[in-house]
Chain A
Amino acid sequence: GNSVTQMEGPVTLSEEAFLTINCTYTATGYPSLFWYVQYPGEGLQLLLKATKADDKGSNKGFEATYRKETTSFHLEKGSVQVSDSAVYFCAPNYGGSQGNLIFGKGTKLSVKP
């Protein structure tokens, strides 16, 4: 079946460091790709999305590019802040009925001042 793989956390960075969280998905069909963020004690919020190959999603300084050739959708940010500390979920949408989205285990990011 379809699946998604994220780099395991936790990831600990100092403020202003560069962030990359890797995400790869199974190459069945042409899914839309999403990154969600979950702050402590809250639900998931949509961070960014890309719906076709070579699209770049961006929001709040975060970016991710839909790479069909490598089936990847890595999340990047040039300079993280303490307020970016959260759990990040990569989620492809293959259009199935199970909520459409398939979630990985998430990557916990801690940013130290």
Chain B
Amino acid sequence: NAGVMQNPRHLVRRRGQEARLRCSPMKGHSHVYWYRQLPEEGLKFMVYLQKENIIDESGMPKERFSAEFPKEGPSILRIQQVVRGDSAAYFCASSPGTGIGSPLHFGNGTRLTVT
């Protein structure tokens, strides 16, 4: 049973380009979360999605960042016009439900470097 799959593992973009990060949740999981981790820091919540719906995007910057989780295919986190401050590791997690006893299952992350 494959875990949460993220790609690419490493992504290098020049300032002003677009970054597109993909996440395929575990089989049977319909809840997807995106987190950002800066070096030597914890994880910061960005957005929570269910299929075709954004449930909570309170942690996502209002500009340049967007996320989707279409009916078919992976969840996508898109960063437009990247800046150096966007350099970080971006982690996707999935869960089968939202019960407080349900753990999140994480992917190995996409490490974005903006040059």
Question: Interface residues of A toward B: which range?
Answer: 20 to 34
On whether the beta carbons of B43 and A103 are closer than 8 Å, the reply is yes
A residues near B44, Cβ cutoff 8 Å: 103
A residues near B45, Cβ cutoff 8 Å: 98-99
A interface residue numbers (CB < 8 A to B): 31-32, 34, 36, 41-46, 49, 51, 89, 93-95, 97-101, 103-106
Instruction: Point out the residue from A41, A42, A94, A105 that lies within 8 Å of B100, measured CB to CB.
Output: A94
Q: How far is the CA of A51 from the CA of B101 in the complex (A)?
A: 6
A residues near B101, Cβ cutoff 8 Å: 32, 49, 51, 93
On whether the beta carbons of A42 and B98 are closer than 8 Å, the reply is no
Q: Mark B16-54, 1 if CB is under 8 A from A, else 0.
A: 000000000000000001010000011111001000000
Q: How far is the CA of A100 from the CA of B41 in the complex (A)?
A: 19
On whether the beta carbons of B56 and A97 are closer than 8 Å, the reply is yes
Chain B 56-115 interface residues, beta-carbon cutoff 8 Å to A: 56, 58-59, 91, 93, 95, 98-109
On whether the beta carbons of A103 and B100 are closer than 8 Å, the reply is no
- Contacts A43-B4, A43-B91, A44-B91 hold; do A100 and B42 have CB atoms under 8 A apart? no
Q: Is B12 an interface residue (CB 8 A)?
A: no
Q: How far is the CA of A3 from the CA of B42 in the complex (A)?
A: 13
Q: How far is the CA of A44 from the CA of B3 in the complex (A)?
A: 12
- List the 9 shortest-distance A-B pairs measured between CB atoms, nearest first: A43-B106, A99-B33, A105-B42, A95-B100, A97-B56, A44-B106, A103-B43, A103-B42, A93-B100
